[in-house]
Amino acid sequence: MGRGAQRQTRCAIDDELARTAALNQQFLTERAETRSQLLPEFQRLLASPGYSDEERAAISGEGLGALGSAFDALRQRAENRLARTRNPAGFGELLGELGREQGREAAQVARQSQADFANQAFRRRLAALEGLGGLYGIDTNLLGRGLGLPAQLLGLRASASRDGRGFRFGLGPLSFGIGG
């Protein structure tokens, strides 16, 4: 290769390197801007206890209210039967059993609500970890292990977030989901 050809090759390579460096710089600038916008949201999600106290009260109240309505209807039905037949035999026992069953069902609703609240907090933490991992290119399994979360749960969470349900947030490949 002659000196002229070598010089042209070097110039072409230098030009290509300059274009690549400019593109890389643009990419790094855009990535830094995206991080600065998304980082506070991911940090807020990571620190989030899940549902707010108001949301918890509303969810619990809704479940217990529906349960109360069902048992009120059963009591009303028993009272109507008593009025229709005018036979009080077994009425007190039936009311007592309805009360006991309502107590058992209310305990189950409360227990399930608490489990749902804990699951929501866990899902939000996982979403935040996935988002942070995407922002910084961190292996979420490694990050999860550092926080004491089994790697299998992170994989399950990632696959669950791909099913199309829930709320998605973010920009393109830096998005994450909540809910599901």
DSSP string, 14-54: HHHHHHHHHHHHHHHHHHHHHHHHHHHHHHHHHH--SS-HH
- Model pLDDT, residue 166: 43
The pTM assigned to this predicted structure is 0.55
- Model pLDDT, residue 54: 93
For residues 122-135, give the mean pLDDT: 84
In this prediction, residue 42 has a pLDDT band, given cuts at 50, 70 and 90, of confident
Cβ(101)–Cβ(108) below 8 Å: no
- Model pLDDT, residue 160: 53
DSSP string, 53-103: HHHHHHHHHHHHHHHHHHHHHHHHHHHHHHHHH---TTHHHHHHHHHHHHH
Report the alpha-carbon distance of residue 29 to residue 35 in Å, rounded. Answer: 10
For residues 44-61, give the mean pLDDT: 88
pLDDT at residue 68 greater than cutoff 90? yes
**Per-residue pLDDT tens digits for 10-39:** 888 888 888 888 888 888 888 888 888 888
Domain count across the chain = 1
Q: Domain span at residue 109? A: 3-178
Give the Å distances, CA to CA, from 69 to 62, 76, 133: 11, 10, 46
pLDDT at residue 100 greater than cutoff 90? yes
